[in-house]
């Protein structure tokens, strides 16, 4: 039988199963992505409520890629970030890409909500970005747009028991015209299980149009575009 502390852990799985990561002190970081942002983001980092409370490599890679390659592509599109932690990727897109009129939804579990809201306020982006609670595997909250055009996910592959829950949420979100930009750092052999699961459920293509791809792949960082299999099927039918 699980103890009370275990039953309160994310996904009702003991926190002892989560790989240990060094705890950084609470601090604010300024991030410009090597000068791409003229007005850098200010992000509070705080790990007291979960490992998503600090900046991780895949988030930096994904945000920089989107700012370089998709800075003018997202106008008029609905955007949802999964496992946002402090909201790095969604906030970077809001600051450096052409977006709107719909808000960008940055989402995570309830313990991350105050940090997401703090970072929205620190960057004066409350008119562009909204924070929401979204638990993987659970029904989508009413505020989240059905089948958003763009889904963002960085550093979401680190906790193996959550893999099927993440797959379920991606199935719920991905519509025929949706694309998920998904970046992760492979830390363990088990992380490859997620990609194998995802390839069975979705159409997955590795992103190659990033000038930094060879650099971060040497650090076991990978960036993918994930689409519904029905998207490819519908395309063949139109042809």
Annotated binding site for S-adenosyl-L-methionine: 56, 83-85, 108, 136, 154
* 31 backbone dihedrals φ, ψ, rounded to 5°: -130, 120
Tokens 């490599």 -> residue: 57
> For residue 105, which of 142, 68, 69, 138 has the smallest C-alpha distance?
142
Contact (Cβ atoms closer than 8 angstroms) between residue 95 and residue 120: no
Q: Name residue 224's beta-bridge partners.
A: 182, 206
Distance CA 197, CA 216 (A): 23
Contact (Cβ atoms closer than 8 angstroms) between residue 194 and residue 204: no
SS3 31: strand
Q: Which residues are annotated as a binding site?
A: 56, 83-85, 108, 136, 154
State the maximum Cα–Cα separation within the chain, in Å, rounded to a whole number.
57
Neighbours of 45 (CB within 10 A): 18
């Amino acid at each position: 039988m699980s103890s009370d502390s275990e039953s309160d852990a994310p996904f009702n799985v003991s926190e002892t199963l989560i790989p240990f990561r060094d705890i950084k002190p609470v601090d604010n970081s300024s991030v410009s992505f090597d000068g791409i942002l003229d007005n850098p983001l200010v992000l509070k980092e705080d790990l007291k409520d979960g490992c998503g409370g600090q900046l991780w490599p895949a988030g930096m890679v994904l945000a920089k890629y989107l700012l370089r390659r998709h800075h003018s592509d997202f106008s008029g599109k609905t955007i949802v970030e999964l496992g946002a932690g402090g909201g790095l990727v969604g906030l970077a897109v809001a600051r450096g890409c052409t977006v709107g009129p719909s808000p960008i939804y940055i989402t995570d579990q309830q313990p991350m909500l105050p940090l997401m809201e703090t970072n929205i306020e620190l960057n004066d982006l409350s008119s562009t970005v909204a924070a929401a609670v979204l638990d993987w595997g659970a029904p989508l909250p009413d505020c989240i747009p059905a089948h958003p055009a763009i889904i963002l996910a960085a550093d979401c592959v680190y906790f193996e028991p959550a893999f099927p829950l993440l797959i379920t949420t991606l199935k719920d979100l991905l519509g025929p015209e949706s694309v998920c930009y998904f970046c992760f750092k492979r830390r363990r052999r088990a992380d490859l299980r997620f990609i194998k699961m995802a390839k069975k459920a979705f159409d997955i293509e590795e992103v190659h149009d990033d000038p930094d791809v060879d650099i971060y792949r040497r650090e076991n960082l990978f960036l993918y575009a994930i689409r519904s299999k029905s998207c490819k099927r519908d395309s063949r039918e139109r042809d």
